[in-house]
A and B are shown apart, each in its own frame.
Chain A
Amino acid sequence: MVEIAEIAVSAAELKLGTEPVQGAGVRLSHAGPRSRYSLRARDAKVLAEVVGRTLPGKIGDQAEGVICLGPDEWYAILAEDTVLPRGEGLPVSVTDVSSRALGLVLEGPAALAVLSSGCPLDLANMGVGRATRTVFETVEIVVWREAEDRWHVEVWRSFATWLWNAFLAAMPGAHG
C-alpha cells in the first residue's frame, strides 16, 4: 500500500480574499454589494412594466444592469438596496436574489486571458456591454464585459472562494 502525503493546502483551507490582488496586467477585486433580481416572464412587455425598466430583447444584451439570459429570463445587477416591485398576480416572476451571488471584477489587459483560462466562450469577440451566463471550469458564472478590459463576474456565494483562488492560479505573478 502506497502512502500518499497530505496535500499542502486543502480545499477547506482556501480563503476568499477581501482585498484586491494585483497580478501582471490584471487585478482581481470585489465588485461590492449589489441588488440582484431574477426576472422571468413569457411576455417581456408585462415584466418591463412591472419593474419599470427597459428589458434588453436579445440574449446576451444588457441594459443598465439588466441582462437578457434566456428567452424568458433576465438577471438584474442593480445599485445596492434597489427594490423592484413583485408584480403580484401577474404572469411574471420577480425574485430577489441579492445575497445569492457575489460580484468579482477582473480588470487590466491580461484579464481576458485569466477569464479565458477556464471559460469556454470566445470572450475576445464579446462586445463591450454584453453579458452572458456561462461557466468557469465547473462553476456557473455570469460574465459582463463592462469595458474593454473590465469584466464583472457573478458567482454564487459558496463557489466564490474556489473561483477567487482559481483566478489567482491563472493570474500571472499573483500570490494572493
Chain B
Amino acid sequence: MSGFRLADGGRIDRRTKRNFTFDGKAQWGYAGDSLASALLAQGQMLFGRSFKYHRPRGILGAGVEEPNALVTVDRGPGRITPNLRAPSVALHDGLTATSQNRFPTLKTDLIAVNNVFSAFFPAGFYNKTFMWPRAAWEKVYEPIIRRLAGLGDSPTTRDPDHYDATYAHCETLVVGAGPAGIAAALEAAAGGGRVILIDEQEEIGGGALSDPAQWPWLEEASAKLAAMDNVTVLPRTTAIGHYHQNFVVAAERLTDHLSVDEAEGAREKLWRIRAGEVVLAMGAIERPLVFEGNDVPGVMLASAAKTFALRYGVAVGRKLVVMAVHDSGWRDALALHKAGVNIAAIVDMRRDVASELIEGARAARIACYQGYAVTGVSGGQAVKGVTIALAGVGKGQKIDCDAVLMAGGWTPTVHLWSHAKGSLRWDEAWGAFVPDKTHEDLRCVGACGGAWDYGKGLSGGLLPAPKPLHDSKAFVDFQNDVKARDIGLAVQEGFRSIEHIKRYTTNGMATDQGKTSNLNGLQIASGVLHRPVTEIGLTTFRPPYTPQSFGAILGHHKEALFQPLRKSVIDDWAAAQGAVYENVAQWRRARYFPQGSEDMDAAVARECRTVRSAVGVFDASTLGKIEVVGPDAAEFLNRMYTNPWKSLEPGRCRYGLLLGEHGFIIDDGVSARLAPDRFHLTTTTGGAARVLNMMEDYLQTEWSDLDVWLTSTTEQWAVIAVQGPKARRVIEPLVEGIDLSPEAFPHMSVREGKICGVDTRLFRVSFTGELGFEVNVPAEHGRAVWEAIWAEGQKHGAVAYGTETMHVLRAEKGFIIVGQDTDGTVTPDDAGLGWAVGKKKPDFVGKRSLARPDIVAPGRKQLVGLLTDDPQAVLEEGAQIVADPNQPVPMTMIGHVTSSYHSATLGRSIAMALVAGGRDRMGETLHIPMPDRTISAKVVAPMFYDAEGSRLNG
C-alpha cells in the first residue's frame, strides 16, 4: 500500500547501491537517488510532522518547494544540518538522516494532541492568548512557545568545515539549467562572451530530467557546454538573490552530496557574480489543490510523482488517483501510466477537457471523472482512498487508492525577478503573476517567463466542498499549518491586504517562503473578499531563494579570519612582556602589564605610581592621524573645529574639539601645525575613519573651493608616549637636532628631528598631566625606537603602561574620553569644555546647534567629579545617580557615572559623572543605589590632581 521501485527506468544507477539510515533504521537506495526517492522506493510515506499541529506529513513536491519532508542530516560532530528538504538531499553511502518535529517518534507523536484541539488554535491564537497576564510572558509562555516553535535543532558545537567564496564576472549569467536555460546559455556562449550557467540540482537538465524523450538532447547539450571554455557550468548551486546591477549571489554545495570519507576541501562556495545580462530560467512550481485531507501522506503534486517515476524509477503508490484542474495533470498521468504506474482515475473539476487527453486516458483504461472534485481523503499516516463528488457537493463516491496527485496549475518562479524589483502582471491563463517590466538587464525565459506550454486549466486552488469553509481541514500552507479557513478567519477579523492576511495567518512565512502556498492563499482571500486578486496585492519575495547555511554566507570570514584584528608595530613586544589586551575598534591594545601574580588593580596601581613618580612608556600608535595639507589647511580646520586655528604658529599644538551638526562632541585630539600649509591631526583610536570620512564629506560637498587635502597617516607613524617627571631625561640621549629644554620646546609644541637616527615628529603633549612627549616615527622603525626608549627608561625606573593606566591618569586630571564621558548628547559646555569654543568665530561645524533652546536651557547634564564618602568604594561605570535615595522606586535619576577608578596616587576612588545641573551642585551629596547598598558621593570639580598644572613642567 505504498511506493515501490519500478522494474526499470530513471536516471539512477541500479548497479550501485547506497546504504543509509533514516531515523536510525538501515535503508538503501541507488546512486542517483535523492533521500526522498530512496525512501519512497522503500515504501516510506511518512516523512515528518507539521509545525503547529504535528500532523503526519509526506512528500508534496520533488524539488526545493517541498514544505513537509524536512530532515536533519548528521555528518558527524558539528556537522548536523537541520531543515533539509528530503527531495533535495542527494543519497550517498552512510547518509544519516532523521525526521524532525516529532516527539518522541515520527509514528507516535504526543504533541499531535494539538491537532485534536486544533479548533482552539486558530490563526492569531498566540497573539490573542498570550497577551496577559504580562508577567507570565517571560516565565511561562515564552519558554513553552520556544520549545514548541522552530524546526530542527540549533547546532551546539563549532562547525569544523570551512567555506570558500569568490567573485565572478560574466557577460551572461543563466539561472536554471532546464531546457530553456540551456538553450539560452548555448546561444549566449556562441557570441564568445563569458557565460555562467547555474542550477540547484545534482545535474543540469531541470524538467528534462523527468522526461526520457529529452535525454539524448540533454546529453548532447551538456557535452557542448562542457567543451566551451567560455562557459562555466555550476550544478548544485543555488542563486540565493539578485541585487542591484545584476549582482547575483549563489551558493555552491561542494561536498554534501559525498560520503563523509570522500568529502575533501571546502563544504560550500559562495559565488558573488556580476553579470552583464542575467537570464532567469527558473521554471515553474506546480500548485497543490486545497481540499479536505490534502495533507495526508501520499497526497502530492502530480509533477512530483512524475519526477519520482521517470527520473528515479519510483512509483509513489500502487494505485493512484489524479485530482486535476489543469491539463498538465492529465499529461503527467499518461506519462506515469506509460512508465508502468497504475493510475486508477483522473478527477477533474472541469467538464471540458481537451479531447486528446480524454482519449489518451481512455486508451490507458483510466477512469475519468470530469466535473468532479475530491471532497475527502481517508487514511491517517497514509492514503487509503478518496471521496469524490460531482461539483464537490454531489453525492460522494469512494475510490480506493494509496496516493493522490494534485494538478493545480503552475506558478512561474519569479523570486529573483522580484528581488531585482521587476514588476509582475497577473496572467489569467496561468492564474499566476508573470514577469512584466524591469530596469535591469534581465529577462526570463521558459516557464518562469510565462512562456511554456503546460496546457490549460483553472486557476483557483480551493476545490468546492460539501462542508462550509470554517469546518474544513483543507491546508494551504503545509509547512506553517495554515488552512483555508484561517484565511477566511483573517478576512472575517478585518484584514484586507494580503500583507496583513499573511502575517495574521503566517501563510507563506515558513522556510519555503510559500512556494506552494502564496498563490492559493491569495486566491482564497480574493474569493472570500469578492475582489479580484490584483486588488488583494502580492507579498514580496526576498533573498534567500532557499534557506542557506551561515557558513556559505560567511565564506572566508570564519574564526581567525572573521575580521581583521589590527595590531601596532609594538604589539609583539607587549605580548612578550605578558601584556593583557583589550580591543579598541578593530585594534587590540595592551591594557596593562602584570608582573608576577599581579591582578589588574595591582598592575595599574604600580604603573600609575611609577608614571607620576618617575616615567612610563605607552604605545599610542593606534591614535588616528590625518595629514591636512594645502594653502587652505588652517581655514579648513577653523571651520571643522570649535576653537580658532588660523592663529596657531607652526611648531605649536592645539587641542581640537569636533562637533557634529547637532552640536554634540563626536571627537577630539591634539593637532600640530608643522608648516603654514601642513597640519598633523590626531583623532581618537575608534574615531579615525569616521572623522576622516566626515572631513572628506565637508570638503567635497560644502567647501570644494578650498585648496586642502586630507591623507590618513594613522599607519604611517608609530607613536610612543613617554610620560612622567623623568620623561625628558629618558629621550634626551636619543634625540638629535631638537632642543628639548623647556624654553625651546614648551608644552603643546612639536619639533621635527631625529631619534635613534630616524626621522621623528616629536610632540610635547601630555594626557597624564605629567611632563610628556609623544615620539612619532615611521612605523617600520617603531619597534626599534620603542626598545631604545625602553632601554634608556630602565635607567630611570620606567614602566610600560597600558590603556587602563592611561585611563586612570587622565581621569585624575579630568580629561574626557570621547565615547566614555560623552555619549553623543554632550555639548562642549556640558563637558566643561566651553573654553575650547571660539566665541568670536563666525562659524564652525555645530555652531548653530549650540544656540538651540534646549542646548542653552538650564538643567542639562554636566560633567562633574564624584568623591565617594567611603574613599575605598569604587563606583560602577554606568551606575545611575539620584538626589534622594529615600524616594520610592522608580526614583528620579539625575545622571550616571561615566568614569570610575581607584586612584593609587590619591589613595582613594575617583569618578566622573554626567549629572543634571551638575556644576550648580558642587559640594552636594548624591546617591548611587546599587543592588546591595546605596553609595553616597560628593559632587566636586572633575579635577583630582595637580589642579594648577605644575607637573607638566616635570
Contact = CB atoms under 8 A, between A and B. Distances in A.
Interface of A: 2, 4-5, 7-14, 33, 38, 40-42, 72, 86, 88-101, 113, 116-122, 124-125, 137-139, 156-159, 161-163, 165-166, 169-170
Contacts of A165: 560-561
Interface stretch (B162-170, B336-344, B607-615, B796-804): B162-170
Interface stretch (B347-355, B539-547, B710-718, B745-753): B710-718
B274 interface: yes
Contact of A98 (B557, B711, B778): B778
B560 A116 contact: no
5 contacts: A12-B588, A88-B676, A100-B712, A101-B715, A158-B587
A91 B167 contact: no
B713 A100 contact: yes
Contacts of B676: 88-89
B870 interface: no
A156 B677 CA distance: 26
A8 B421 CA distance: 43
B954 to A, nearest CB: 31
B862 interface: no
Contact of A11 (B561, B569, B717, B780): B561
A118 B272 CA distance: 9
Contacts of A5: 157-158
The winner among A42, A72, A169 for most chain B CB atoms within 10 A is A169
Contact of B631 (A4, A89, A96): A89
B563 A138 contact: yes
Interface string B685-723: 000000000000000000000011101111111000000
Interface string B771-786: 0000000111100000
B711 A40 contact: yes
Contacts of A162: 561, 563-565
B564 A159 contact: yes
B669 interface: no
B715 A158 contact: yes
Given A5-B158, A159-B566, A99 B629 contact: no
Contacts of B559: 7-10
B113 interface: no
Interface in B566-602: 566-569, 581, 587-588
Contacts of B587: 158
Contact of A95 (B156, B167, B629, B715): B629
Interface string B356-396: 00000000000000000000000000000000000000000
Nearest to A40: B709
A125 B171 CA distance: 12
Contacts of B714: 100
Contacts of B630: 40, 91-93
Contacts of B569: 157
Given A92-B630, A139-B564, A156 B715 contact: yes
Nearest to A15: B572
A102 to B, nearest CB: 9
B562 interface: yes
B585 to A, nearest CB: 11
Contacts of A9: 559-560
Interface of B: 156-158, 162, 164-169, 272, 274, 556-557, 559-569, 581, 587-588, 627, 629-631, 675-678, 707-709, 711-717, 778-781
B196 to A, nearest CB: 13
Given A5-B157, A99-B778, A158-B566, A38 B711 contact: yes
The winner among B158, B162, B630, B715 for most chain A CB atoms within 10 A is B715
Contacts of B566: 158-159
B158 A4 contact: yes
A15 B880 CA distance: 44
A54 B900 CA distance: 57
Nearest to A10: B560
Given A2-B156, A93-B629, A98-B778, A122 B560 contact: no
Nearest to B626: A95
B779 A11 contact: no
Contact of A7 (B164, B560, B629, B778): B560
Given A14-B565, A120-B167, A157 B715 contact: yes
Contacts of A116: 166-168
Given A13-B560, A38-B711, A101-B715, 14 more contacts: A4-B158, A8-B559, A10-B560, A11-B565, A12-B565, A33-B780, A72-B709, A89-B676, A91-B707, A92-B630, A93-B709, A97-B713, A122-B274, A139-B564
Contacts of A159: 564, 566
Contacts of B631: 89-91
Nearest to B717: A99
Contact of B166 (A94, A100, A113): A113
B560 A14 contact: yes
A117 B779 contact: no
A100 B715 contact: yes
A165 B678 CA distance: 37
Contacts of A170: 164, 166, 556
B168 A97 contact: no
B778 A11 contact: no
The winner among A90, A94, A95 for most chain B CB atoms within 10 A is A95
A93 B556 contact: no
Nearest to A114: B166
A81 to B, nearest CB: 12
Contacts of B272: 120
A38 B414 CA distance: 48
Contacts of B564: 11, 138-139, 158-159, 161-163
Nearest to A158: B566
Nearest to B705: A42
The winner among A72, A118, A157 for most chain B CB atoms within 10 A is A157
A6 B716 CA distance: 34
Nearest to A72: B709
A11 B156 contact: no
Nearest to B572: A15
Contacts of B156: 2, 4
Contacts of A137: 556-557
A26 to B, nearest CB: 14
Given A40-B629, A72-B709, A158 B567 contact: yes
Given A118-B167, A119-B167, A7 B158 contact: yes
Contacts of B565: 11-12, 14, 161-162
Nearest to B628: A93
Nearest to B265: A172
The winner among B156, B560, B568, B712 for most chain A CB atoms within 10 A is B560
A13 B779 CA distance: 21
A4 B158 CA distance: 6
Nearest to B781: A99
Contacts of A2: 156
Contacts of B561: 11, 14, 162, 165-166, 169
B194 to A, nearest CB: 8
B169 A125 contact: yes
Contacts of A124: 169
A158 B167 contact: no
Contacts of B711: 38, 40, 93, 95, 97
Contacts of B168: 116
Contacts of A158: 564, 566-568, 587, 715
B556 A161 contact: no
Contacts of B778: 98-99
A12 to B, nearest CB: 6
B558 to A, nearest CB: 9
Given A4-B158, A95-B713, A117 B629 contact: no
Nearest to A169: B556
A2 B78 CA distance: 13
Contacts of B678: 86, 88
B449 to A, nearest CB: 28
Contact of A118 (B165, B708, B781): B165
